[in-house]
Amino acid sequence: MPNVDRIYTACLIIIGDEILSGRTQDANLAYLAKWLGVQGIRLSEARVVKDDMAAIAEAVNALRIAHDYVFTTGGIGPTHDDITVDAIAAALGVDVVMHPDAERILREHYGERITDTRLRMARVPAGSTLIANPRTGAPGIRIGNIFIMAGVPAITRSMLDTLEGALPGGLPMLSRTIGAWTMESRVADLLARVEKAHDGAQIGSYPFWREGRTGANFVIRSVDPAVLASCASALTVALEAEGIDATDGEI
Protein backbone atom coordinates (compact mmCIF):
# COMPACT_ATOMS: atom_id res chain seq x y z
CA MET A 1 0.00 0.00 0.00
CA PRO A 2 1.41 3.42 -0.86
CA ASN A 3 1.99 5.82 1.99
CA VAL A 4 -0.23 8.78 1.13
CA ASP A 5 1.16 11.05 3.83
CA ARG A 6 4.50 11.92 2.38
CA ILE A 7 6.54 12.25 -0.78
CA TYR A 8 9.37 9.77 -1.34
CA THR A 9 12.34 11.10 -3.29
CA ALA A 10 15.31 9.48 -4.97
CA CYS A 11 18.42 10.65 -6.72
CA LEU A 12 20.65 9.02 -9.30
CA ILE A 13 24.43 9.23 -9.38
CA ILE A 14 25.72 8.31 -12.84
CA ILE A 15 29.36 7.32 -12.49
CA GLY A 16 31.62 7.37 -15.50
CA ASP A 17 34.15 9.30 -17.53
CA GLU A 18 32.54 7.85 -20.66
CA ILE A 19 29.36 9.84 -20.02
CA LEU A 20 31.23 13.07 -19.22
CA SER A 21 33.43 12.75 -22.31
CA GLY A 22 30.35 12.46 -24.52
CA ARG A 23 31.40 9.01 -25.73
CA THR A 24 28.38 7.28 -24.23
CA GLN A 25 24.84 8.59 -24.06
CA ASP A 26 23.27 7.80 -20.68
CA ALA A 27 20.21 5.60 -21.08
CA ASN A 28 19.48 4.83 -17.44
CA LEU A 29 18.13 8.13 -16.10
CA ALA A 30 14.89 8.23 -18.10
CA TYR A 31 14.23 4.53 -17.51
CA LEU A 32 14.85 4.77 -13.76
CA ALA A 33 12.71 7.92 -13.55
CA LYS A 34 9.71 6.14 -15.04
CA TRP A 35 10.32 2.99 -13.02
CA LEU A 36 10.47 5.04 -9.80
CA GLY A 37 7.29 6.87 -10.80
CA VAL A 38 5.43 3.56 -10.82
CA GLN A 39 6.80 2.79 -7.34
CA GLY A 40 5.48 6.14 -6.03
CA ILE A 41 8.98 7.60 -5.73
CA ARG A 42 10.10 10.81 -7.43
CA LEU A 43 13.48 11.19 -9.02
CA SER A 44 14.37 14.64 -7.68
CA GLU A 45 17.97 15.07 -8.72
CA ALA A 46 20.72 13.39 -10.69
CA ARG A 47 24.45 13.89 -10.87
CA VAL A 48 27.04 12.67 -13.32
CA VAL A 49 30.45 12.25 -11.70
CA LYS A 50 33.89 11.17 -12.85
CA ASP A 51 35.58 7.84 -12.11
CA ASP A 52 37.18 9.47 -9.09
CA MET A 53 37.04 8.29 -5.48
CA ALA A 54 36.57 11.75 -3.97
CA ALA A 55 33.95 12.87 -6.52
CA ILE A 56 31.87 9.72 -5.99
CA ALA A 57 32.16 9.84 -2.19
CA GLU A 58 31.20 13.51 -2.03
CA ALA A 59 28.08 12.97 -4.14
CA VAL A 60 27.04 9.89 -2.15
CA ASN A 61 27.42 11.62 1.20
CA ALA A 62 25.57 14.75 0.08
CA LEU A 63 22.68 12.84 -1.46
CA ARG A 64 22.10 9.89 0.88
CA ILE A 65 20.95 12.35 3.55
CA ALA A 66 18.84 14.46 1.21
CA HIS A 67 16.81 11.62 -0.34
CA ASP A 68 14.97 8.45 0.64
CA TYR A 69 16.86 6.47 -1.99
CA VAL A 70 20.17 6.87 -3.78
CA PHE A 71 20.79 4.88 -6.96
CA THR A 72 24.18 4.68 -8.63
CA THR A 73 24.97 3.33 -12.08
CA GLY A 74 28.38 2.39 -13.42
CA GLY A 75 31.78 1.35 -12.17
CA ILE A 76 31.04 -2.10 -10.70
CA GLY A 77 32.82 -4.28 -13.24
CA PRO A 78 36.12 -6.12 -12.82
CA THR A 79 38.54 -3.56 -14.32
CA HIS A 80 40.86 -0.99 -12.74
CA ASP A 81 38.47 1.89 -13.59
CA ASP A 82 35.64 0.23 -11.63
CA ILE A 83 35.96 2.00 -8.28
CA THR A 84 32.36 2.54 -7.21
CA VAL A 85 32.41 -0.06 -4.41
CA ASP A 86 35.63 1.32 -2.93
CA ALA A 87 34.41 4.91 -3.19
CA ILE A 88 31.08 4.19 -1.51
CA ALA A 89 32.73 2.16 1.26
CA ALA A 90 35.09 5.10 1.84
CA ALA A 91 32.16 7.53 1.86
CA LEU A 92 30.41 5.43 4.52
CA GLY A 93 33.57 4.71 6.49
CA VAL A 94 33.21 0.94 6.19
CA ASP A 95 35.54 -1.77 4.90
CA VAL A 96 35.28 -3.53 1.58
CA VAL A 97 34.63 -7.24 2.12
CA MET A 98 33.90 -10.30 -0.01
CA HIS A 99 30.19 -11.13 0.03
CA PRO A 100 29.88 -14.93 0.31
CA ASP A 101 26.67 -15.14 -1.76
CA ALA A 102 28.16 -12.96 -4.48
CA GLU A 103 31.25 -15.16 -4.53
CA ARG A 104 29.07 -18.26 -4.87
CA ILE A 105 27.05 -16.68 -7.71
CA LEU A 106 30.23 -15.73 -9.58
CA ARG A 107 31.79 -19.18 -9.07
CA GLU A 108 28.64 -20.79 -10.44
CA HIS A 109 28.45 -18.34 -13.35
CA TYR A 110 32.08 -18.66 -14.45
CA GLY A 111 32.73 -22.28 -13.47
CA GLU A 112 36.37 -23.16 -14.06
CA ARG A 113 36.96 -19.79 -15.76
CA ILE A 114 36.73 -18.06 -12.37
CA THR A 115 39.75 -15.84 -11.60
CA ASP A 116 40.73 -13.43 -8.83
CA THR A 117 39.91 -10.58 -11.20
CA ARG A 118 36.37 -11.85 -11.76
CA LEU A 119 35.96 -12.37 -8.02
CA ARG A 120 36.54 -8.62 -7.61
CA MET A 121 32.86 -8.34 -8.52
CA ALA A 122 32.00 -10.03 -5.18
CA ARG A 123 33.56 -7.13 -3.24
CA VAL A 124 30.98 -5.03 -1.37
CA PRO A 125 30.93 -2.36 1.35
CA ALA A 126 30.63 -4.23 4.69
CA GLY A 127 26.98 -4.53 5.68
CA SER A 128 25.62 -4.81 2.14
CA THR A 129 22.97 -7.09 0.73
CA LEU A 130 22.78 -8.12 -2.92
CA ILE A 131 20.52 -7.09 -5.80
CA ALA A 132 20.04 -10.05 -8.11
CA ASN A 133 21.23 -9.74 -11.70
CA PRO A 134 19.40 -12.44 -13.66
CA ARG A 135 21.13 -11.29 -16.83
CA THR A 136 24.87 -11.60 -16.27
CA GLY A 137 25.30 -12.96 -12.76
CA ALA A 138 27.43 -10.27 -11.09
CA PRO A 139 24.99 -8.79 -8.58
CA GLY A 140 24.14 -5.21 -7.68
CA ILE A 141 24.57 -4.10 -4.10
CA ARG A 142 22.35 -2.46 -1.52
CA ILE A 143 23.74 -0.73 1.54
CA GLY A 144 21.36 1.33 3.65
CA ASN A 145 19.42 3.51 1.23
CA ILE A 146 22.05 3.20 -1.50
CA PHE A 147 21.44 0.92 -4.50
CA ILE A 148 24.60 0.24 -6.48
CA MET A 149 23.80 -0.87 -10.01
CA ALA A 150 25.54 -1.64 -13.28
CA GLY A 151 26.02 0.98 -15.99
CA VAL A 152 25.06 -1.26 -18.93
CA PRO A 153 21.34 -0.47 -19.44
CA ALA A 154 20.15 -4.05 -20.01
CA ILE A 155 21.76 -5.11 -16.73
CA THR A 156 20.48 -2.07 -14.83
CA ARG A 157 16.96 -2.89 -16.02
CA SER A 158 17.24 -6.49 -14.96
CA MET A 159 18.35 -5.35 -11.50
CA LEU A 160 15.38 -2.95 -11.27
CA ASP A 161 13.06 -5.82 -12.25
CA THR A 162 14.15 -7.68 -9.14
CA LEU A 163 13.44 -4.60 -6.96
CA GLU A 164 9.92 -4.15 -8.37
CA GLY A 165 7.43 -3.45 -5.58
CA ALA A 166 10.08 -3.84 -2.85
CA LEU A 167 10.64 -0.16 -2.01
CA PRO A 168 8.20 1.78 0.16
CA GLY A 169 6.75 4.70 -1.80
CA GLY A 170 3.92 7.19 -1.82
CA LEU A 171 1.27 7.95 -4.38
CA PRO A 172 2.49 7.61 -7.94
CA MET A 173 2.76 10.83 -9.94
CA LEU A 174 0.17 10.84 -12.71
CA SER A 175 0.49 12.85 -15.88
CA ARG A 176 -1.60 13.86 -18.84
CA THR A 177 -0.46 15.70 -21.93
CA ILE A 178 -2.43 18.23 -23.97
CA GLY A 179 -0.82 19.12 -27.30
CA ALA A 180 -1.50 22.20 -29.42
CA TRP A 181 -0.13 23.78 -32.60
CA THR A 182 0.60 27.12 -31.01
CA MET A 183 3.59 29.10 -29.79
CA GLU A 184 3.92 28.59 -26.06
CA SER A 185 4.55 32.34 -25.72
CA ARG A 186 1.00 32.97 -27.00
CA VAL A 187 -0.55 30.96 -24.16
CA ALA A 188 1.93 31.52 -21.33
CA ASP A 189 -0.48 33.60 -19.21
CA LEU A 190 -3.28 31.11 -19.74
CA LEU A 191 -1.04 28.22 -18.61
CA ALA A 192 -0.02 30.06 -15.45
CA ARG A 193 -3.67 30.90 -14.69
CA VAL A 194 -4.92 27.34 -15.16
CA GLU A 195 -2.08 25.93 -13.03
CA LYS A 196 -2.77 28.44 -10.26
CA ALA A 197 -6.47 27.47 -10.22
CA HIS A 198 -5.61 23.79 -9.66
CA ASP A 199 -3.86 23.21 -6.37
CA GLY A 200 -1.65 20.13 -6.53
CA ALA A 201 -1.18 20.23 -10.30
CA GLN A 202 1.87 21.44 -12.19
CA ILE A 203 1.86 22.26 -15.89
CA GLY A 204 5.10 22.00 -17.88
CA SER A 205 5.29 23.58 -21.33
CA TYR A 206 7.50 21.88 -23.95
CA PRO A 207 7.70 23.68 -27.29
CA PHE A 208 8.76 22.06 -30.53
CA TRP A 209 9.26 22.92 -34.19
CA ARG A 210 8.16 20.35 -36.72
CA GLU A 211 7.01 20.31 -40.35
CA GLY A 212 7.74 24.07 -40.46
CA ARG A 213 5.23 24.72 -37.69
CA THR A 214 5.44 25.60 -34.02
CA GLY A 215 3.71 23.54 -31.39
CA ALA A 216 3.85 22.76 -27.72
CA ASN A 217 2.99 19.89 -25.43
CA PHE A 218 1.60 20.84 -22.05
CA VAL A 219 2.27 18.14 -19.46
CA ILE A 220 0.04 18.22 -16.39
CA ARG A 221 1.24 16.30 -13.33
CA SER A 222 -0.56 15.49 -10.12
CA VAL A 223 -0.86 12.62 -7.66
CA ASP A 224 -4.64 13.21 -7.55
CA PRO A 225 -6.58 11.76 -10.51
CA ALA A 226 -9.49 14.18 -9.96
CA VAL A 227 -7.22 17.24 -9.93
CA LEU A 228 -5.44 15.92 -13.03
CA ALA A 229 -8.72 15.48 -14.91
CA SER A 230 -10.15 18.85 -13.94
CA CYS A 231 -6.90 20.66 -14.76
CA ALA A 232 -6.71 18.95 -18.16
CA SER A 233 -10.28 19.84 -18.98
CA ALA A 234 -9.85 23.47 -17.83
CA LEU A 235 -6.73 23.77 -19.99
CA THR A 236 -8.52 22.33 -23.01
CA VAL A 237 -11.44 24.74 -22.57
CA ALA A 238 -9.09 27.72 -22.10
CA LEU A 239 -7.08 26.86 -25.23
CA GLU A 240 -10.19 26.40 -27.33
CA ALA A 241 -11.61 29.70 -26.05
CA GLU A 242 -8.52 31.26 -27.69
CA GLY A 243 -9.31 29.46 -30.94
CA ILE A 244 -6.54 26.88 -30.46
CA ASP A 245 -7.31 23.20 -31.10
CA ALA A 246 -6.22 21.13 -28.11
CA THR A 247 -5.29 17.49 -28.62
CA ASP A 248 -5.72 15.02 -25.77
CA GLY A 249 -2.25 13.46 -25.79
CA GLU A 250 1.17 14.39 -27.02
CA ILE A 251 1.57 15.70 -30.56
Which parts of this chain interact with a copy of itself (CB under 8 A)?
A: 17-26, 29-34, 37, 42-51, 55, 77-81, 115, 117-118, 120-121, 152, 154, 173, 175, 184-186, 188-189, 191-192, 195, 202-209, 219, 221
- Smaller CB distance to a copy of itself: residue 20 or 97? 20
Least distance in angstroms from the C-beta of 227 to a copy of itself: 17
- Smaller CB distance to a copy of itself: residue 99 or 221? 221
- Smaller CB distance to a copy of itself: residue 5 or 189? 189
Any residues with CB less than 8 A from the CB of 142 and at least 6 apart, and which?
128, 129, 130, 131, 148
Least distance in angstroms from the C-beta of 160 to a copy of itself: 13
Least distance in angstroms from the C-beta of 214 to a copy of itself: 10
- Smaller CB distance to a copy of itself: residue 21 or 165? 21
Least distance in angstroms from the C-beta of 80 to a copy of itself: 4
Least distance in angstroms from the C-beta of 127 to a copy of itself: 26
- Smaller CB distance to a copy of itself: residue 2 or 204? 204
Q: Would you say how long the chain is, in residues? A: 251
- Smaller CB distance to a copy of itself: residue 34 or 126? 34
Least distance in angstroms from the C-beta of 166 to a copy of itself: 20
